Amino acid sequence: MKPTVAPFPAARLRRTRKSGAIRALVRENTLTPDDLIWPVFVREGDGIEEPVASMPGVMRRSVDRIGDAAREAAALGIPAICIFPYIEQSLKTEDCAGAWDPDNLSNRAIRAIRTAAPDMVVMTDVALDPYNINGHDGFVVDGEIVNDATVEALVKMTLAQAEAGADIIGPSDMMDGRIAAMRGALEAAGHQNVMILSYAAKYASAFYGPFRDAVGASGALTGDKNTYQMDPANTDEAMRLVQRDLAEGADMVMIKPGMPYLDICRRVKDTFGAPTFAYQVSGEYAMIQAGAQNGWIDGEKVMLESLMAFKRAGCDGVLSYFAPEAARILNN
């Protein structure tokens, strides 16, 4: 239905913009800490809070400090944390066996968050790249990232994280058939209540650079990820991927990156009506921070405006490194 507006001066659209109170009264979208998932990086060691140079304000924390982050998030009203491990180069292997070790970094971090903030929702990342000597999300055989053998490994990784206490599994690998395999394995193992937030439309983007620094994958990566991540030119393909993952048992879906793909967010929400999330990725975060630090933009206002854009595009929530900063402002 096309909107209709009375002719001027009967319609003065500025009337509903005349004061902050009136603007709040007619505001179409709202942003609260409930909309945020905070991605955090964990590393080996004790008592470590190590800055990530390419992501100002972001740190890698040792497991003994990850509980502090969980308590901070809980106090701010942030409902969920997503764990990403930083693996030393010397521990990366061809077989990626560390990915499903019950005592790996991610699984210890899950248990630490469970102890520190029992009500915190814990999300994990499922992909082999942090553990892979080749830096890829899947096994590399004769230069090819193989699909089916990778899915078998991802299922083992999924079950290890579920056993450790994860609430939400976040497969970010973009292998075909992994959602059905993960859902079947979770059901068979008695983890019926563990959710899958599928990175259903993950693009082969240049916006991931600082993240790869943060998890130690930049130097390891051989080649590119174009054979399994999406072509940035495609939109209809994203719809097919989302439809498939929902049919295979995903509870929620993710679009990644975020702001450059708000059109995908809107199409996904309008088409499927499923819980839809976006990831405001490291490159987006770093650009806003760099602009703010150079005095080119008002960092606080741009941060909040960028987060509101996700809600306006139909997202139910967003993964953002700004989560604690944004929550402090929103709470006030």
Pairing between β-strand 144-145 and β-strand 140-141 as defined by DSSP bridges: antiparallel
For residue 286, what pLDDT band results from cuts at 50, 70 and 90? very high
Q: What is the CA radius of gyration of the chain?
A: 20
Whether residue 43 contacts residue 62, with contact meaning beta carbons closer than 8 Å, is answered with yes
Indicate the helix (H) or strand (E) that contains 37. Answer: strand 36-43
Q: Average pLDDT over the chain, rounded to whole?
A: 95
DSSP H helices in 201-279: 209-214, 236-248, 262-272
Residues sharing a CB contact under 8 Å with residue 60, sequence separation 6 or more, in sequence order? 41, 42, 43, 48, 49, 50, 52, 86, 214
Question: Which residues form the catalytic set?
Answer: 202, 256
Which whole number is the average pLDDT over 257-282?
A: 97
Domains of the chain: 32-331 (3.20.20.70)
DSSP state of 93: B
Q: What are phi and psi of 197, to 5 degrees?
A: -105, 95
Which whole number is the average pLDDT over 30-48?
A: 97
What tokens appear for 80 in the block?
A: 């969920």
For residue 209, what pLDDT band results from cuts at 50, 70 and 90? confident
- Quick one: what percent of the chain has pLDDT higher than 70? 98
Selection from 38, 30, 106 nearest residue 69 by Cα = 38
- CB-CB neighbours of 300 under 10 Å: 14
Whether residue 320 contacts residue 326, with contact meaning beta carbons closer than 8 Å, is answered with yes
Which whole number is the average pLDDT over 278-286?
A: 96
For residue 210, what pLDDT band results from cuts at 50, 70 and 90? confident
For 113-148, b where at least 16 C-beta lie within 10 A, e where not — what string? bbebbeebbbbbbbbbbbbbbbbbbbbbeeeebebe
Indicate the helix (H) or strand (E) that contains 160. Answer: helix 148-164
State whether the Cα torsion 114-123-193-318 is positive or negative. positive
For residue 4, what pLDDT band results from cuts at 50, 70 and 90? confident
Q: Output the pLDDT for position 218.
A: 60
Q: Say yes or no to pLDDT of 216 above 70.
A: no
Least confident of 86-90, 121-125, 310-314: 86-90
Which residue shows structure tokens 């800055």? 51
Q: Say yes or no to pLDDT of 60 above 80.
A: yes
Q: Output the pLDDT for position 220.
A: 66
For residue 213, what pLDDT band results from cuts at 50, 70 and 90? confident
More confident site: 217 or 48: 48
Q: Output the pLDDT for position 2.
A: 78
Q: Output the pLDDT for position 215.
A: 72
Q: What are phi and psi of 127, to 5 degrees?
A: -170, 155
Q: Output the pLDDT for position 248.
A: 98
Q: Output the pLDDT for position 61.
A: 97
pLDDT in tens, 9-38: 999 999 999 999 999 999 999 999 999 999
For residue 219, what pLDDT band results from cuts at 50, 70 and 90? low
Cα distance between residue 162 and residue 171, in whole Å = 13
- Quick one: what percent of the chain has pLDDT higher than 90? 92
Which whole number is the average pLDDT over 45-51?
A: 95
- CB-CB neighbours of 248 under 10 Å: 17
**Is 296 buried (19+), middle (13-18) or exposed (0-12) by CB count in 10 A?**
exposed
Amino acid at the residue 76: L
pLDDT in tens, 144-179: 999 999 999 999 999 999 999 999 999 999 999 999
Cα distance between residue 55 and residue 208, in whole Å = 11
Q: Say yes or no to pLDDT of 300 above 80.
A: yes
Q: Say yes or no to pLDDT of 211 above 80.
A: no
Cα distance between residue 82 and residue 91, in whole Å = 22
